[in-house]
Structure 1
């Protein structure tokens, strides 16, 4: 395998009429398209892809992780969401952690069993099919493709194999061994090696037959509690059985005639909206794509948006979040003027995570429905704990909690953490007499890159007229906060010109350029499906209503978009 992971091929966007899927694994995209062809809708296909990705990319996603979903109803124009994030065990309070010797300065190690939160993804999958699905296929039928991949086996893809091996090495360095269910003779599978997961196949079969009870009660629940207890954690069967998803109303903002929709807190969706509101005050197209002026303004806007979000966003059951106040503030001209002053912003804590241990995928069907979906284990393979005979690892999402008592994201019992994963939808801005029209389902995953990635690919479409594949191919910027040095780092992907990096350094930015090879994972991996080519500058946006679907899939991953 070429360690440089050079991007040498050129991909055209997928164009189709009847239905389209895009994910980070080709086999998962195939499973989703098959569900559409069998009569399922966008929600059914999205859950089929989620399950297939749990098999083919188990380090990034699975039954042991969390999920968020946005669904656009093609008939009514209504947009609804599901918050599939899990809570801490009820016993996991700040006082409990302090009694164990932990503090804000010395929290539990990232892979500690104390950082396991209740897996929210299984309930989210069930609820997505129940609330938004076609009801033409049973839940068991939706999971059939994933079961077959787990039983028969699949050849492991290139990028997946790299991070599988890297994460196993990191877990071993931390004194932990990934469970044998997810290794071949004690080793991670190589690129092209066939991997089977019979335990996950059995778990998925039980899940298809019994629904949520198969995961949150009975054999699997007991296995989850047992493995956590063996490693010093405190999750109970009651913590699992009392979990459920939350149906949420997405939040949105308008930018030049389109609306971007994101999940509300406890997710970081608000960051994307704040960022877009700030950037609307600047002539981005005139600056030029990835020019020094464009990146400078983007970086300063990201610093403002993330600082607000980290200080205000937490579990809405525990804190009142001034979402509309923050959105109104970010729209103001006075607020936007702060950017041109190179104003240094501080993020004291928590540390802002990086990496690509997440999957994003989307589906648009022939009825005009769209499902935008994200699933994650936080770190790759989460905490590395694999419940006995279950075939999946448990997330360590609790590592993102703060141990500062005055933080809105301070750890507490039965609390959801600040969440990085966010799916997005784009519509036109409907009037009172007209329902919104779907323009795109899109997302970019990767820790705090996600909100930044959403805006960069959306601006690639809106301001620079790129098609969906070009919008994903384009080099990205990742603004990262280093808590130890209390400074912001501007990471520039290979493809951004060296003179741009130098110009940014002269403006006082700490620049890391060029980021190449597998290190590109910090820029996330995205998928886009658009309805029509409204992003084309030669198209009259007001009158254009073609039903042709255009799609792209990120070259930083192993996946593809497929349509029919």
Structure 2
């Protein structure tokens, strides 16, 4: 229960529809789409397009997208993998040379963007509006400008040195000779032109014609192997979610090449502990979360890959017997010392969730990976290109080895939890490598500790990475000392750990309850 004498905010509550995003412009646009008769996926795509303009460091049409939907409040689940592939001509024999990852601004790290394919396909299959109408607000923001919000400005400034490496990025995203500051108005007319072409021509406005030509010619000038045919044949696909049961709920994630299975394995391990008997912010609870994460990440780094090119032991990893064996490796009185650190790093992403009047529930995530992606920007259309190829392994014997036409291990993951055959929680937590930890932290906050969505998202966070336990400033001092006594090497992260949104459905009252992360600029809104 929230202490009203302390900083914080109440969850949003509504009966007809709700959207939770981490920028108020996007939340408002999503609600307007719902009120005008749009379905949840219409509102989600309109909001994602706005975010691609107003949060350019986090997302964009040069990135990827994953979506999980529950149709009409039923157990009919739709999941879409909108991640792009490496170019078909990528010379993997030259790049797969051992350990490490591709350089962040290398053209070889730029995979074919999958977001626009996902947006247009999902709206056509499950929406009620035309893509042109849904992109109109984003086009207006790109052409007319928008005031930069504080968290966006902070992230923008951190990426300024990387932006200066590319002349197009410098021209488009440092127009005053520096990063945009909070309250300043920013415009990207080239992006408005690209979005207008997509509004008029659908996916062909991006994957064929001048936009694709602009992107391909620039990447090839940098030594990339991208072709117009790579863009023409780019397509996502509907997939069957991976699932597990956690305390009577069915928790759904996107299957590999997505890392969502990591969160499911964490939940399976933690299910064997009586978390509800612990204090939510106790060292005991956070220690178990950390150790479960370290075990799950070990398997992620060993196995998650594009399953069209390598085998993945999904049934074994999600079996309760396997989780029990891993659970036995956890000591409640000290840190395990035999586990490797996770391989990935922080990324920049936007997660949003929308529920409409008919209880269509959308869990939606979009990203360009690192801040401003590769910082390679299409010269005419101001499109930031993602660097998802960094998710590949450079070890040619690894299941996730880099290769032509392959999808890399992908960090961004939308979550959905079902209860009694109906959607219960739509949720997601951004933050690259942190995301499985974040999903587990907020979900167990609701299920094991009875927190509402806003309380669960507000809770301070920890994350184990590279042999260190990152602890946000909000974690109680006594808890920090308790973790230190258990053997955790405590450090304070430079930036907050991720950001998230959540909508909970109270079926008995017919009420939607939403939360949005104070670590970002956004909000949950309903009507």
The TM tier, using the shorter chain, reads: over 0.9
Check the 8 A contact 1:31/1:146 in 2, yes or no.
no
1:19 to 17, 40, 47: 17
Provide the C-alpha distance between the structure 2 equivalents of 1:60 and 1:26, rounded to a whole number of angstroms.
15
Note if 1:557 corresponds to 2:520: yes
**1:479 to 1:373, Cα distance in 2 relative to 1, 3 A:** same
Match for residue 268 of structure 2 among 268, 277, 295: 277
User: Paired residue for 1:129?
Assistant: 123
1:525–1:556: 8 Å Cα contact kept in structure 2? yes
Question: Hey, what's the Cα distance between the residues in 1 that align with 2:206 and 2:222?
Answer: 20
| CA distance, structure 2, for counterparts of residue 526 and residue 185 of structure 1 | 31
Q: Deviations over 1:119-164 (max 9, x none)?
A: 011101111211221x2x2111111111111122110000001111
Partner of 1:40 in structure 2? 38
The question of whether the paired residues in 2 share the 8 Å contact of 1:20 and 1:563 is answered with yes
Instruction: Quote the residue 1:311 is aligned against.
Output: 302
Give ranges in structure 2 of 5+ residues lacking alignment.
1-5
Could you tell me how far 1:348 is from its partner in structure 2?
7.3
1:547 equivalent to 2:522? Answer: no
Q: CA deviation at 1:390?
A: 1.1
Whether the 8 Å CA contact 1:277–1:330 is kept in 2: the answer is no
More off after superposition, 312-321 vs 331-340: 331-340
Instruction: Decide whether aligned partners of structure 1 residues 71 and 358 sit closer, same or farther in structure 2, where only a CA change above 3 A counts.
Output: same
Between Structure 1 and Structure 2, how many residues are aligned?
A: 520
Q: 2:321, 2:27 → 1: CA distance? A: 37
Contact 2:101-2:391 at 8 Å conserved across structures = no
* Contact preservation (8 Å) 1:153, 1:197: yes
From 377, 382, 395, the equivalent of 1:404 is 395
- Alpha-carbon deviation of 1:545? 2.1
SS in 2 for 1:162: helix
Supply the distance in 2 between the matched residues of 1:495 and 1:104 (Cα, whole angstroms).
Answer: 40
The residue aligned with 1:118 is: 112
Q: Deviations over 1:218-276 (max 9, x none)?
A: 10000111111121211111111111011111111111111111111100010010000
Deviation at 1:465, TM superposition (A): 1.2
Return the offset for 1:190: 1.2
Deviation, structure 1 residue 510: 1.7
Match of 1:510 among 486, 489, 513: 489
CA spacing shift, 1:302–1:332, aligned 2, 3 Å? closer
Residue 440 in structure 1 maps to residue 425 in structure 2: yes
**CA-CA distance at 1:107 after TM superposition:** 4.8
Which residue of structure 2 aligns with residue 530 of structure 1? 504
8 Å contact kept, 2:251–2:417: yes
Counterpart CA distance in 2 for 1:364 and 1:261 is 17
Superposed displacement of residue 179, structure 1: 4.4
- Which of 146, 150, 159 is the equivalent residue of 2:138? 146
Q: Give 5+ residue unaligned stretches, structure 1.
A: 1-7, 431-435, 483-487, 533-543
Does structure 2 conserve the Cα–Cα contact (< 8 Å) formed by 1:58 and 1:392? Answer: no
Structure 2 residue aligned with 1:500:
479
| Cα distance in 1, alignment partners of residues 64 and 235 from structure 2 | 12
CA drift of 1:188 comes to 2.1
Deviation string 1:441-473 (CA, Å, 9 cap, x unpaired) is: 100011111111011001111111111111111
Do the aligned residues in 2 keep the contact of 1:313 with 1:321 (CA within 8 Å)? yes
The separation in 2 between residues aligned to 1:220 and 1:143, in whole angstroms, is: 16
Cα–Cα, structure 1 residues 323 and 108, in superposed 2: closer, same or farther, change >3 Å? closer
CA contact (8 A) 1:182 1:392 kept: no
User: Hey, what does 1:96 align to over in structure 2?
Assistant: 94
Match of 1:541 in 2: none
| Cα deviation 1:29-75 (Å, max 9, x = unaligned) | 11111110111010000000110000100111011001100111015
Structure-to-structure mapping, 1:362-377, within 5 angstroms? 362-377=353-368
CA pair 404-252 structure 1, distance change in 2 beyond 3 A: same
Helix, strand or coil: the match of 1:320? coil
Asked if 1:352 corresponds to 2:315, the answer is no
Contact 2:241 2:255 in 1 (8 A): yes
1:520 to 478, 489, 495: 495
Asked whether the 8 Å contact 1:14–1:563 carries over to 2, the reply is yes
Q: Is the 8 A contact 1:304 1:345 kept in 2?
A: no
Q: Structure 2 vs 1, CA of residues 177 and 197 (structure 1 numbering), >3 Å: closer, same or farther?
A: closer
Query: What CA distance in whole angstroms lies between the structure 2 residues aligned with 1:93 and 1:284?
Result: 49
Q: Is the 8 A contact 1:528 1:551 kept in 2?
A: yes
SS at match of 2:398: coil
| 1:326-341 equivalences in 2 (<5 Å) | 326-328=317-319, 332-340=323-331
The within-5 A match list for 1:177-256 is 178-256=169-247
Deviation for aligned residue 1:191: 0.5
Offset, 1:17: 0.6
CA-CA distance at 1:504 after TM superposition: 1.9
Deviation at 1:405, TM superposition (A): 1.3
CA distance in 2, matches of 1:447, 1:304: 18
Q: Deviations over 1:499-522 (max 9, x none)?
A: 222222222222214x4xxx333x
Cα displacement (A) at 1:177: 6.1
Please give the secondary structure, in 1, of the residue aligned with 2:292.
helix
SS of 2:385 mapped into structure 1: coil
1:466 and 2:451 matched = yes
